[in-house]
Chains A and B, each alone.
Chain A
Amino acid sequence: MTDAPAPALLLAIDSLAVDYRSGRTTVPAVRDVSLRIHRGEKVAVVGESGSGKSTTAQAVIQLLASNATITGGSVAFDGIDLVHATAKELRGIRGRRIGLVPQDPTVSLNPVTRIGAQVAEVLVVHRLASKADAARRAVEALREAGLANPEVQAQQYPHELSGGMRQRVLIALALIARPDLLIADEPTSALDVTVQRQILDHLDRLVAETGTSVLFITHDLGVAADRADRIVVLSDGRVVEEGTPDEVLRSPKHPYTKKLIAAAPSLQSAPALRALQIEARASANEEPETGDARADDVLVATSLVKEFPIPRTLGHGVTRAVDDVSFGIPRGGTLALVGESGSGKSTTARLALRLADVTSGTVTVDGDDVTSIRGSRLRAFRRRAQIVQQNPYAALNPRLSIGSIVSDPLAAFGEGSRATRKARAVELIDLVELPASVLKRRAAELSGGQRQRVAIARALALRPELLVLDEPVSALDVSVQAQILDLLAGLQAELGVSYLFISHDLAVVRQIADRVGVLRRGRLVELAPTAQVFDAPSSEYTKALLEAIPGQAVRV
């Protein structure tokens, strides 16, 4: 910004306090948050789940959840007190002066109304245009938002568009009335990283052209650093740090910010973790790594193919979810498979574990073909390979105690007596660094990170050689992610267990993998040692993925 006279103040949040009612008690969600946005300024609010970042945004547009109340402070938008504004005043501001891009584009459009009408509705409710004129301008707004065929898409329904296209529609909708302020609430966290980048780039261009101010809510420090003029870090409902991206990332003052930066995988150039890991394995494993399968790999997959029948509604035939994929998992090491949604990475994991049957190809473990074993041989294989699933909130039987969950695999194999199983459960819970007191609790009483630790303990109960980790941290906040990744690395060093690590996030993978495979639309486009993938990727797609990793503008 040049040295023009200081731009006018647009939004002033002062000592905002919001409470949530939860059962009989109230829980503070936002405390004493103050925030200023000037005209043309882009401010990012960063924080983890429950930090109050979304609540703050909702308070600005007065769309708080029904169990939330503003208990103190003020929100002034261009001099108007939004907290005490009447319904009519708020209606005049929403959509017209403050636009909102919501979190999840897949569910944020009315499924039974045409796209064009939904965008035009903003103009209609504010009487900014006649019906015909509004429809025309909606098409124009869709074009501006980067849709290729706006005339066609205006006539379509939301389910006919992809997630990325829907987010563009929502951007068009938010900007069509040329608002002074745009609130973007995690606008791309439900989208693939490459799509996320395209959309954020486009959004940046649009707000720059129109001079709109932006309040950008995100959990990703990297995204915030790339996109904002100023970053505000929230923790536990309070502002803990504020400054330009450079100030916040290079010289954070608050310990929480430091922790957050340390935990963010995308901001780490030379992960300490990996160093530790390599060190641990250095003595056992001296040969230089290549991506190809080797003789002593614990599991080798050769030319895996998985076809699914296309739903009858969409015609006949099959889709190939996995197409000729081959890889080996190094003994005591980690192979990571990375891909965006629909790349077939989770299906591949299930094929390797025999949770799904291959259409063709083979899976061998220590030279034994396990591709089509059944009965007792399959059960014997289950002992050797276990899974940790993506969503810890759904992965634990809600009726069982944690103790029973952890020892369930032992019970399934009739291993040991009740007492020895109990002892083993205590051991396992200790291994994943949880207090023994959780053994008596139910899953619902634990947090997501704790639940994922329980899932890991369960997977380790039978002392398997191989763990398939299907996006084990993607449902978790970044600081919890880091803890779980630490734990996994520690366990590998301690137990020598091998990992097949499935992830959509290259940055996460960098910390933990020895080899990385990149999947795209069911095909393996890259398979090489981790360093090589990051330093000298061979495929264009891998390069695009690497470039899309946020936080490159400011590297620590």
Chain B
Amino acid sequence: MSETTRLAPPAVEHGPDVFGATADDRFEDALAERQGAPGSRGPVFRFFAFLVRRPFLLGASVWILAVLVAAIAPGIFPTQDPLGGDPIDKLQGPNLGHWFGTDQLGRDLFARVLHGTGLTLGAALLAVGIGLVVGSVLGLLAGFVGSWVDTVVMRIADVLLAIPSLLLSLALITVLGFGTVHVAIAVGLASIATVARIMRSEVVRVRTSVYVEAAQASGNRWWRVLLVHVLPNSAGPVLVLAALEFGTAILAVSSLSFLGYGAQPPTPEWGSLVSTGRDFLRTAWWLTTAPGIVIALTVLSANRVSRALDTEGRRSR
């Protein structure tokens, strides 16, 4: 008997049963059984215990929260006037009175960064919102309907992915004109293809899963399969992506502002703050460094939170 099965499809070729494939699952069963019941503390306690064990994640979450509060209500923080300053105080390094120092007009840099948060974050959230909503709908459509809809949507996504997203944003800005809202729209539109593709692959993965087959065999109508079984299980990765895209959008928005397409002076915005600080690079390092660090920390935190969501999502799958 020839054992060669080169022509057989891979699914057919793999073992006669799932005994090997589920070996790890059974092993975990056995360990769990020997381990006894998991801690019977409440979910809130477990959540905090989880955070405390991950100091970086805790720091990232706190930072994101602080930044969000600063965006919504900058007045909560002890702050000075972001627009008016005393020229006598100009170009002071960081000190107790001015945590981030002052700029060439004597304005408090901390206040300017704080009040710029709303603009940068607002733009990033708008961008993520646009990308996420449009991308998810397209991806869901492609993944769930399949056939020609899938082909058309994914081919378009392929083409969009062929153009680097920053260039696509720049092309959009050329037409839409300058300003923070336009920058946000441009960044959001440029991210649609990525979101659509991940959403689609997620929907396809869930759609072909064993439990969705079971749901179909149980007599669920297509919309119930979609709403009860497919969507809740595909939403997790999209949430992960949203956090990740949030970081990416902050980078894109501040880059475009840095290049001068976004907020115009004297309105404070993270990217344009770095841009104006550029002229004093030799003498006043803090003017670029302080907003630069704030941007980097925010993006880093968003990525960290995204990663945590991802790991937890995978674990519960």
Q: Do chains A and B touch in the complex (CB under 8 A)?
A: yes
A residues adjacent to B (C-beta < 8 A): 20, 22, 25, 27-29, 48-51, 103-104, 106, 160-165, 186, 189-195, 219, 236, 308, 310-311, 314, 319, 340-342, 353, 355, 379, 382-383, 386-387, 389-391, 393-400, 408-409, 411-413, 442, 444, 447-448, 455, 458, 461-462, 471, 474-477, 504-505
Q: Are A408 and B27 in contact (CB under 8 A)?
A: no
Cβ contact of A190, chosen from B19, B215, B229, cutoff 8 A: B19
Q: Are A408 and B17 in contact (CB under 8 A)?
A: no
Q: Are B209 and A394 in contact (CB under 8 A)?
A: yes
Q: In the complex where A20-B31, A49-B30, A236-B34 touch, is A409 in contact with B219 (Cβ < 8 A)? A: yes
Q: Are B215 and A397 in contact (CB under 8 A)?
A: yes
Q: In the complex where A308-B9, A382-B217, A387-B214 touch, is A475 in contact with B17 (Cβ < 8 A)? A: yes
Q: Are A398 and B19 in contact (CB under 8 A)?
A: no
Interface residues on B, range: 35 or more
**A160, B8: Cα distance in complex, Å:** 11
Q: Are B213 and A393 in contact (CB under 8 A)?
A: no
Q: Are A162 and B13 in contact (CB under 8 A)?
A: yes
In chain A, what residue has the closest Cβ to B20? A190
List, in ascending order, chain A residues with CB within 8 A of B32's CB: 447
Q: Taking A341-B14, A397-B229, A442-B316 as given, write out 18 further A-B residue pairs in contact, using a Cβ cutoff of 8 Å, ordered by the A residue number.
A: A27-B31, A48-B26, A163-B13, A190-B14, A194-B1, A340-B16, A379-B221, A389-B210, A389-B213, A391-B22, A395-B210, A395-B214, A408-B218, A411-B224, A412-B218, A471-B17, A474-B19, A504-B17
Q: In the complex where A49-B26, A398-B233 touch, is A162 in contact with B5 (Cβ < 8 A)? A: yes
Q: Counting CB contacts under 8 A, is B29 at the interface? A: yes
List, sorted by A's number, 29 A–B pairs whose CB atoms are closer than 8 Å: A20-B31, A49-B29, A103-B20, A106-B15, A160-B6, A161-B3, A165-B4, A189-B19, A189-B20, A190-B19, A236-B34, A319-B7, A319-B9, A341-B13, A342-B8, A386-B217, A389-B214, A391-B21, A394-B209, A395-B214, A397-B233, A398-B316, A412-B215, A413-B219, A462-B218, A471-B18, A475-B19, A475-B25, A476-B26
**Interface-centre pick from B3, B33, B317 (highest chain A CB count, 10 A):** B3
In chain A, what residue has the closest Cβ to B224? A412
The smallest beta-carbon distance between B208 and chain A, in angstroms, is 11
Q: Are B26 and A448 in contact (CB under 8 A)?
A: yes
In chain A, what residue has the closest Cβ to B25? A393
Q: Counting CB contacts under 8 A, is B228 at the interface? A: yes
The smallest beta-carbon distance between A412 and chain B, in angstroms, is 4
Q: How many A-B residue contacts, CB cutoff 8 Å?
A: 174
List, in ascending order, chain A residues with CB within 8 A of B216's CB: 355
**A447, B25: Cα distance in complex, Å:** 9
List, in ascending order, chain B residues with CB within 8 A of A310's CB: 7
**A195, B2: Cα distance in complex, Å:** 11
Q: Are B220 and A412 in contact (CB under 8 A)?
A: yes
Q: Counting CB contacts under 8 A, is B84 at the interface? A: no
Q: Are B220 and A408 in contact (CB under 8 A)?
A: yes
Q: Are B233 and A399 in contact (CB under 8 A)?
A: yes
In chain B, what residue has the closest Cβ to A103? B20
